[in-house]
Amino acid sequence: MNEDRIAKLNKLEKKLNYKFNDINLLNLAFIHTSYTNEHSDFKNKSNERLEFLGDAVCELAFSEILFKNFKPKQEGFLTKVRANLVCEKSFSELADHLELSEFLLLGKGEEKTGGRDKPSIKSDAFEAVMGALYLDGGYDVVFNFIYNLIIDKVKELKIQKESVNDYKSMLQEYLHKKNKSNSTYKLVNEIGPSHNKLFYFEFYIDDKKISEGNGKNKKIAEQMAAKNALEKLGVLKK
């Protein structure tokens, strides 16, 4: 690798919040088979083996995250949710979030036919990067990275699938019984680009802040604020 390539990969390390002991592993995660076919020096050095490993590590990490966040849901439910998260479409979207396409090394033919934007190639690159993380830093590094990457989405799924879905109504009913009618939700912040915003709400009773919550849309953020308020008021157990 030349210095420019190393510098480029160093920028990706910052996004991953991890410094590789062996930067060559990270570089290998982006070498597509079409590139190896056109460069004899890279024969048998594509990202396919890392992709194979990363696929298995991702399934374990996603499974553990879902297991810990959706209890006591049954196996069928967890399997269905995992299938929606551990798939080409999901991994391609995560690759877009991390802007992995710009690091790909593709053959001329694949480049001309739009390989850099193909969901299958982007998904494979994400899995390969996870495989590289696993080999270089171990399972905990991969787990923590994936956890931080998907936990907001998992929280949204959790709220959507709760048997008691409407925490706001639940909270309103509780306050009505306590004769407390002066309550309000306040939008206090919006972070991120328009296609990937995170909204922050605070919940007040009689102008006293009780809780806060955030989510990918205002409805989810308000529901999270209501859920946290119910927990603080002792209505729900954490």
Range among 32-36, 72-76, 131-135, 174-178 with highest mean pLDDT value:
131-135
Mean pLDDT of the region 212-223: 90
pLDDT number for residue 44: 76
Q: Alpha-carbon distance 87 to 104, whole Å?
A: 20
**Angstrom distance (rounded) from CA 37 to CA 222:** 53
Tokens of 137: 């830093």
Q: Does residue 127 have a known ligand-binding role? A: yes
Long-range contacts of 121-124 (CB under 8 A, 24+ apart): 121/32, 122/91, 122/92, 122/95, 122/96, 123/88, 123/89, 123/91, 123/92, 123/95, 124/32, 124/47, 124/48, 124/51
Quote the pTM value.
Answer: 0.67
- For residue 5, the Cα-to-chain-centroid distance in whole angstroms is 26
Q: Is 55 a catalytic residue?
A: yes
Would the annotation count 190 as a binding residue?
no
For residue 163, the model assigns a pLDDT of 43
Q: Is 51 annotated as a binding residue?
A: yes
Q: Which residue among 55, 110, 202, 222 is the active-site one?
A: 55
Task: Examine residue 119 and say whether the peptide bond preceding it is cis (omega within 30 degrees of 0).
Answer: no
Mean pLDDT for the chain overall: 89
Query: Could you tell me if 50 and 35 are in contact, meaning their C-beta atoms sit under 8 angstroms apart?
Result: no
Burial class (CB in 10 A: 0-12, 13-18, 19+), 100: buried
Residue 237 vs residue 36, higher pLDDT: 36
Amino acid 161: pLDDT = 62
Quick one: average pLDDT of 124-138?
97
Give the pLDDT confidence score for residue 162 in this predicted structure. 56
Q: Which of 58-72, 121-135, 163-177 has the highest mean pLDDT?
A: 121-135
Among 116-120, 169-173, 187-191, 198-202, which stretch is predicted with the lowest mean pLDDT?
Answer: 169-173
Number of neighbours of residue 43 by Cβ within 10 angstroms? 9
195, burial (CB in 10 Å: exposed 0-12, middle 13-18, buried 19+): exposed
Do 13 and 19 meet the contact criterion of CB atoms below 8 Å apart? yes
Q: What is the pLDDT of residues 52-95, one digit of tens each?
A: 999 999 999 999 999 888 776 677 878 888 888 999 999 999 99
Which of 24-28, 32-36, 132-136, 160-164 is predicted with the least confidence, judged by mean pLDDT?
160-164
**Percentage of residues in the chain with pLDDT exceeding 70?**
95
**Catalytic choice (93, 110, 111, 127):** 127
